[in-house]
Structure 1
Amino acid sequence: MAQPAPQAHPVPQHVFQAQSQLAAALAQSEGQAFDLLKAPWADVEKAVTKLLGGAFQVNRQEHQALALGVAGAFASRMAAEHQAFWFPNRDSPEGATLGFPQAIIMLSPFGAVMDAMGQGKLARLEDLAADIRRSLGQVRFGGANAAAPLGQPNLGPVDYQRLFDPGFLQFVVLDPNKTKSTLEAKPDALARDVKDALGRTQPPLPPEAKQQFEGQIVMSLQRLEATKPLADQVERAPRLAELIAHMVATVGGTGCAPEEFWHEIVLPLLFIGVPQQFPPLDEDEVQAFQQGAEPLALFVDVVPHSHPAPEEGLLGAFEMTEIGLAHPAFARVGALRLIQINPARLKPLLEQFDPDKTADVVRRFTAYVAEKAGKPTEETPQGKEMLQAALMLLSDLKRAATTVQGGQLCLRRLTEAEAASEQALALVRRALQGGRIILT
């Protein structure tokens, strides 16, 4: 299989393969090499239409594959002209999005190509490129609409991923009545409530944090149509609607952690339970321990589940039939970051969960592996921190899922930046949910 050419910011493998396959198909169809990076988009459209054998159909998988190849070419043009780069983004259909170093501009090349080809006007990509060129020019020359001050360091894939990739998760419990009343409220009323809460937090928010929340939440609410309930405008501002529901209706929940940590460590601990015996170890597993593998990682990899878990599904813990909407209005949102979870599978396991017993079984497993490997156990700070974090998250989840009566257990996706600001957001949430003190 061909590999992307080495570069500072690699192209996602599946995008590179789609682009390579498209280039090969066009060369065969046209009888000569076809330059996807320089040919006018009108010529690209004619050549691709010939391959399709007719009009582009958005629902046909083979047509989508060709569109992904065109998207790769469009991204390559942006990289050549503006040093644009791919960064991981779970919200994107292709699993990655294009970012630009000189200004915060996100582009889904696949989405842009699908829209253009669906309209039979691939030349629209040049219009889009011109818009990006104009926006970046304003930044470079300090125009009135510049997205960032001159002299600001260029952004990279890590910066974009931190800001936009919802790679962190937390479980929250929503009060369904509050969720309903919040989403059925008018944006101007919600904006007033949030602005009032920002002035009543205890301890007070730092001025920069208060200003940030006002810009991101209050002003965003004020930009919506004042006469329509928030529920009627979720397509226009899905992230805002989810955030407001969380701020007003959340009555319990867990801390935030990377999705991989929940999937690979935290939830497997719950399904494994507290076994009395451990399975035989093979040579590779013993060798991994001898070479420094964390015992906790080996534990969740080696020890079978005591309780059945879905082979597929969300986080290896929930069937797709166990996932729902926190409010009917969210049915109109494509990529949800707030979803309701049926807790029936987890509740019995959480009721049995005891952090001390789980910690003890991990210690016993560590001693078991050490004996088989002939190597003394040495607890590492990283391993200790990882186990403590997992036990804390499970304890939070147990408290939220088993003690809050009548609530909706939901899974909330956040970016790393949002996870970092969750502590400050909690202060606003408490002020928003608390009653006002009126002096007479």
Structure 2
Amino acid sequence: MELNDLLLTPIYLGIFYSIAFSIRGRFTNVYTKPYFIPALTLKFLGAIVLGLIFQYYYGGGDTFNYYNHTKVIYGAFINSPLAGLKLIFSSTNSFDPDTAPYVGQLYWYRSPTEYFVIRIAAFFGLFCFGTYTIIGLMFAALSFSGMWAMYTTFLRIYPLAYKQLATAVFFLPSVFFWGSGLMKDSICIGALGWTFYGFYYSTIAKRSILFSVLVGLLGAYVLYSVKVYILLSFLPPALLWVFNENNQRIKSSTVRLVLKPFFLLLGLGAGYIGATRLTSGDDKYDVNKIGERTKINSEYLTTQVSNGSAYNIGTFDGSASSLVKVAPQAVVVSIFRPFIFEARNPVMLLSALEATLFLYLTVTLFYRTGVLKSLQLIISQPILTFCFLFSIVLAIGVGTNSGNFGTLVRYKIPLMPFYLSGLYIMQFQARPKPRLGTVSRQRKKLAAA
């Protein structure tokens, strides 16, 4: 961090908070208003602390690699605005004499996923003199917008749990730390929130359809450009969600029973087709090569760890059969580990505390409700089916692809709000039901607020 960070950050923070307070009333109600500014503040804090920890604790890392590229582009813009804009907006596959002097300094120029992040950072840098901390705050604000969309979508589905859902979406330390600042993870969790919002409102609630489709597609495009495996994990459960919702709206129980298997198969088939077409020909994420790629990544990350944070989920050779064998352990390691005694540093300790919370809530909920009743509840409620299926699919992917807790804590943050939200909604659903009139009045108050 430099002098500009110290001088300009307070000024820009004042601007950002002024904007936040001015728009808060438009995007909140009496129940959600208390969470808007605190949640945004945590995102800003996460962005600043992330930069400080990477600079003074790790001594570097991805966030500064992105920033070093951003500085090159900002310097190009100062020398030649046309060259700077071309580096941000033009294709990286064509030679251009204006950008040629700078391309050699951009190590990730030919790496689409990393350079996508750099494009966004460089664009933000034009408005803040290329200052690292302010770019990080802009990433935090961008991420917050998607997470607020995620939160309001959950509230539209189950408004009674607005306090618990705020905890699940905004107040998990790993999520607001890794999901803020100049990182891929910030963009992805924000894009996931907008994809979730757009998908729900365009296909299930059917409100503001044009806007919902546009923001949903934009969020999906960002995920596709940066971390397509999140989109691959999202699509099949989301399509099943749509079919389950439509299945529930059929009044005849006989017709529902006949059509439900059809909806399930159709959703899985559509998800598979979408996944294969999205990744066809991509050496990194093609479904025909993803097992092999996962094996390579897992072995590399495991052998690179020398601080005791590696984990072993069994033999995985990249084949579908071995993936099935290690999947249960991958789910456990992604959602319920590291255990407290496995923590080796403060970052791992935070992750361990969150994993302990997830384990405690899961065990107590299934114990009090009963395993069979809990499973019936998940199957009968489309939102719960979606939350847990998405969490499990992504958990398998990141659990087999990481190999150590240091990278896993970052990879798994997209599933954490959905898994915890699912648990909290289950808690409410499993409670003894109050009188119908009481529930109806509560729902109407929250909807009208």
Normalised TM-score (structure 2)? 0.28
Higher relative contact order (CA 8 A, sep 6+): 1
Normalised TM-score (structure 1)? 0.28
> Whose radius of gyration is greater, 1 or 2?
1
- Structure that is richer in helix per residue: 2
- Structure that is richer in strand per residue: 1
